[in-house]
Amino acid sequence: MNAATPATRGPIRNEIEAPSAIEAAALRSDRFRLEREGEWKRLETILGSMEKGRIRRLSDDDILALPALYRMAASSLSVARETSLDAATLGYLESLVQRAWFQVYGPRQGFFRWFGKFLGGKLSQSVRDIWLDICIALAVMVAGTIVGWLLVARDQEWFYTLVPAQFADARQPGASREVLLDTLKVEESASGMSAFAAQLFTNNSSVCILAFALGFAFGIPSLMLLVHNMAVMGAFLWLYNSQDLVPEFAAWLAVHGTTELFAIMLSSAAGIHIGRKMAFPGRRSILSAAADAGQRGAQVMVGVVLMLILAALLEAFPRQLAGAETRALIGGFMLIFWLTYFFAFGRDREEEVA
């Protein structure tokens, strides 16, 4: 009987010891949490403010403490996993560490928020930062137009040299007034215009990208490309002036030209900006100056792409379907819009930051 007694008491003893082990684990988990809970709560408060966009309400101490609190929470999570603490503590720490990681290392804003800020001031600020290069590009555009006009006026063979064959068609020296007017006529429908818009966007974007990309050679190729493209404009102006059709041609061109030519000017200015900074880096190294100018120029080029999309739509639809007066009104409105947006919009925010 006595020999059987230990055997019969074994399971009872294990059942008594099991609750004791559970209680010990719970006690250990509670003690672990109490020792670090103050840091976790502070981190959670900071994250809550940042996630709600209330970062200005946080003190400098809280901002500076964020990386250290994140590392402490990550360390606590590692210890909790190693010691197999309760599931509630593990779940809480995993969530807290994940939220903290996004605030410390993750992206600060989504694409749409970034795009809103970009259009809301960053683009116009980048354009204003290269104002000197824009002035250079504008002067070169005017000079190129005058050169094209004078060359064709002196010798009409220059027209065929300057103007690509696909752009000339019936618009050639000697064309009658009726023929030139027919090239400016209003279309009856918009069928096929979407494909035309895509073709125009491809052509214009290639010119702008090339003008920007050639800027690394101290901006000289960008200037040459700009002169050549504007000489084509001068040749067409001479042609329509020969039949007293400059106002009609200007209205036909303005509806999309005020946007398209503005985009070409900005892309050339961005390329010139890079070349100028490389040629005259000041006290900075050439690589550092070029990198800073390249970043600024890239922001301008994003705006140029958006302008070219709009210009293609204006060229394919309003220009083809609207009359001369409507074309002129649209072109004038777009010119005022771009001047206001690039050189007036967002200045008050810059002054506040300064």
Give me the domain span that covers residue 43: 14-104
pLDDT in tens, 220-248: 888 998 999 899 999 999 999 999 999 99
Rounded to an integer, the average pLDDT of 80-91 is 76
Q: Which residues of 32-64 are buried (b: 16+ CB within 10 A; e: fewer)?
A: bbeebeeebeebbebbeebeeeeeeeeeeebee
**What DSSP character marks residue 185?**
P
Do residues 83 and 123 share a domain?
Answer: no
pLDDT band at 347 (very low <50, low <70, confident <90, very high): low
Check residues 43 and 105 and name the one with the higher pLDDT: 43
Do residues 141 and 55 share a domain?
Answer: no
Do residues 140 and 89 share a domain?
Answer: no
Check residues 353 and 169 and name the one with the higher pLDDT: 169
Number of domains in the chain: 2
Rounded to an integer, the average pLDDT of 281-301 is 89
Task: Give dist(CA 162, CA 144) in Å, integer.
Answer: 11
Out of 26-30, 134-138, 205-209, 229-233, least confident range:
26-30
Confidence (pTM): 0.67
Answer yes or no: are the C-beta atoms of 145 and 234 closer than 8 Å. yes
In a domain, 7, yes or no: no
Check residues 181 and 168 and name the one with the higher pLDDT: 181
Answer yes or no: are the C-beta atoms of 144 and 264 closer than 8 Å. no
- Interior angle at CA 46, CA 40 and CA 48, nearest 5: 100
Rounded to an integer, the average pLDDT of 105-124 is 76
Q: Which residues of 85-107 are buried (b: 16+ CB within 10 A; e: fewer)?
A: bbeebeebbeebbebbeebeeee
The token pair that represents 7 in the structure block:
């055997």
In a domain, 38, yes or no: yes
Do residues 288 and 140 share a domain?
Answer: yes
In a domain, 3, yes or no: no
pLDDT (0 to 100) of residue 200: 60
The token pair that represents 54 in the structure block:
């209330």
Do residues 177 and 78 share a domain?
Answer: no
Question: Following DSSP, what letter does each residue of 95-150 receive, concatenated?
Answer: HHHHHHHHHHTS-SS-HHHHHHHIIIIIHHHHHHHTHHHHHHHHHHHHHHHHHHHH
Last residue of a domain, one of 81, 104, 127: 104
Rounded to an integer, the average pLDDT of 282-304 is 89
Last residue of a domain, one of 104, 126, 161: 104
pLDDT (0 to 100) of residue 306: 92
Do residues 213 and 331 share a domain?
Answer: yes
Category of 71 on φ-ψ map: left (φ > 0), alpha (ψ -120 to 50) or beta: alpha
